[in-house]
Structure 1
């Protein structure tokens, strides 16, 4: 039943998309693209009558969308890293900032930062 509903939703979605394409063509070019309306009608009829026929197209669309999502994810994260994180790190290095205290300090006896509270039964009740 779930596969049938997914195929039906896929068909109805594509019927809507092709209807919107036809309406945009009519609004912009003042001509109604019949191919878009015919495609929308075919998707609508199949989605309502025999949604199982849309299974191969649905699976193909899922694979295509998954590949595009993978590509977009890496592209957007790469742009964010090289466009924001790297320049921020270079700027902090130029300004001499070290928020993680990674520079060696020969004068320090220890790098251990003391914790302000002691471990007791009360502190373990609310760890976070």
Structure 2
């Protein structure tokens, strides 16, 4: 992952960031509430203007905003990853493991057997044509 502090943004990238972020802000927090409830708030228009004016006139002013937004995104990504993986583990993996344990299934064959010399499972020897034309 690239460290955002070391990446120098170009004017074009910052202009694009300001215009797109302002438009998304306006659509999500301006138009959507107006369409749903009929209420029109002023603050999304103010934030969009604060992003659009520097984006059009002097995009380099948006560099600290961009880096702050990226840091916020990295933090949210870190948090969301843990939440999503935890939900998947506790709702999918753990119940499957419990069901398999109740049913007595052991797909990894982990039972100890002192009568055998080795747990190695001998595989069949494959010839070279086995890996040719895989698909």
Q: TM class, shorter-chain normalised?
A: 0.7 to 0.9
TM-score (norm 1): 0.80
Residue of structure 2 in register with 1:71 after alignment: 79
The answer to whether 1:115 aligns with 2:123 is: yes
Instruction: Give the Cα separation in 1 of the matches to 2:19 and 2:48.
Output: 9
The answer (yes or no) to whether the contact 2:34–2:40 under 8 Å persists in 1 is: yes
Aligned-pair distance for 1:125? 6.5
Of 64, 74, 82 in structure 2, the residue corresponding to residue 56 of structure 1 is: 64
Moved more, 9-18 or 20-29: 20-29
TM-score (norm 2): 0.77
Query: Of Structure 1 and Structure 2, which has the larger fraction of its residues in helix?
Result: 1
Structure 2 stretches lacking a partner, 5+ long = 1-7
Aligned-pair distance for 1:48? 1.9
Structure index of larger Rg = 1
The answer (yes or no) to whether the contact 2:14–2:63 under 8 Å persists in 1 is: yes
Instruction: Give the Cα separation in 2 of the matches to 1:86 and 1:96.
Output: 15
**Number of residues paired by the alignment?**
125
CA RMSD, 1 decimal? 2.5
